[in-house]
Chains A and B, each alone.
Chain A
């Protein structure tokens, strides 16, 4: 059982927007602005998409955005494209670990 809770799957049509939630506790997401998001294609290493809740690394499309409210962080992808398909993981600093991951969300572009 993962420390952070994500939906197992989400789907959306090309051009639309989707949001993936990541729920933690006051010991992780709720206390630290150190949430990151990773995209993983099958057989590949994860790729950093968002860090520090809402910052994008150089080279990541501005269609990807992050936010946080209370103990829940969210990743929003706008203008969905087929290439956005894959598995998405959230990650947070935590007092207990100090790094905890979500269980992953499979994104399907319909």
Chain B
């Protein structure tokens, strides 16, 4: 059974960079036709897709966040990561990592981690 777990700082100061890591167990991130994805959910609001990184390292980001987002793979640790720069209070959200097939079939999710942007 594939499992994903997010980790990283829970509190980030405005204008700084948010960094999260997703550790995958039960399968290799470097094999299979999978899109390793990040989704976020502001408190009390809906889901917002952030982007994905494919096992080849190719990426695709939400156009609304593209200028601030970067994703990477660490196959030696079976992890993938998200960085979001120049954060503001509007970036406060629960951040989820997920494994997708055919881009939009988000079949496995992490439990999510709340990241608060505040001074």
Which residues of A does B touch, CB under 8 Å? 2, 34-36, 38, 44-48, 51-52, 57, 89, 91-93, 96-104
Contacts and interface: CB of A to CB of B under 8 A. Distances in A.
Nearest to B61: A97
Contact of A2 (B46, B62, B63, B106): B46
Contact of B106 (A48, A98, A100): A48
Contact of A101 (B49, B52, B105, B111): B49
Contacts of A103: 46
Given A97-B62, A97-B63, A98-B60, A46 B106 contact: yes
Contacts of A92: 104
Interface in B4-62: 37, 46-49, 52, 60, 62
Contact of A34 (B46, B103, B110): B103
Interface residues of B, number: 20
B80 interface: no
Contacts of A99: 37, 49, 52, 62, 103-104
Contact of B105 (A48, A98, A102): A48
A45 B5 CA distance: 11
A89 B109 CA distance: 15
A92 B110 CA distance: 20
